[in-house]
Amino acid sequence: MIDPSIRLRRAIHANDALLVKRILKSRPDLLHNPDHSVTGNANSNLHLAASLGHLAICKALVELGHENGAPALNDDHQTALMLAAAAGHTEVAHFLCENNPDTILRQDTRGRDAIMEASLNGHDTVVQILLTWSPGGTQDALAQADLDGNTALHFASSNGNLLVLRTLLAAGADAGRKNVWSWTAEAYSATVQAEVYLKGLVAEVERRKQIRRGAEESKKGGAVRIVDADADSGD
């Protein structure tokens, strides 16, 4: 007889949502079922399902109360959303953001969050979803840094993820931000192509800022002062 906890994990691997529900109906104590094997990292059922991109199972687990109170964390203090973001599972990431947007800015033992994981692995659509649902807005999300001071932009640059670089800069990422080693994202560029691309994006962002500033100044300078006709008549 196979241990129910192992049967449950096998059902998740097989993407069998009906079997998962049946097992949990008879064994509700296995809702979280952290994997304490050598390679399991204490990942819960939701961690496993999210890392595999199995949306139906993620929904079933959340409906059963998997994340009630506080999100489940593995041994690295990672959430299920972090694993989904790292793997680029768009639908699962969107569902988990919608269910609990507060998990977006949670950081693991290295100080990384879901946006950094998605940026590191080049999952641009996931990055856009995370930024859209971030409860504090994009500025709070992009201001976060890991224990070494690396931002999402550093991670995107270090792996040469060009689409993510564009998304992050368009959202307001600070290209001049330095980590604890005084390295900017540009200095972390994985390739010459990525470095040139990033420089071009930064220049474009700055050009647009200057155009906006110029337009605003023109509006201020072009304001017409209306003077009462009687004021100049001497009457």
Supply the CATH number for residue 13's domain.
Answer: 1.25.40.20
Strand, helix or coil for residue 224: coil
CB contact at 8 A, 8 and 30: yes
C-alpha span between 43 and 63 (Å, rounded)? 19
Q: Answer yes or no: do 61 and 14 share one domain.
A: yes
Strand, helix or coil for residue 9: helix
Which DSSP category does 71 fall into?
-
pTM score, whole prediction: 0.87
List per-residue pLDDT tens for the chain, 235 residues long: 799 999 999 999 999 999 999 999 999 999 999 999 999 999 999 999 999 999 999 999 999 999 999 999 999 999 999 999 999 999 999 999 999 999 999 999 999 999 999 999 999 999 999 999 999 899 999 999 999 999 999 999 999 899 999 999 999 999 999 999 999 998 888 778 778 888 888 888 778 777 777 777 777 665 545 455 554 444 4
Q: Answer yes or no: do 13 and 64 share one domain.
A: yes
Task: Specify the pLDDT at position 228.
Answer: 56
CB contact at 8 A, 201 and 172: no
Question: Per the domain annotation, does 137 fall within a domain?
Answer: no
Strand, helix or coil for residue 27: coil
C-alpha span between 87 and 178 (Å, rounded)? 27
How many domains is the chain partitioned into structurally? 2
Domain with 164 in it: 145-214
- For 205, phi then psi, to 5°, come to -60, -45
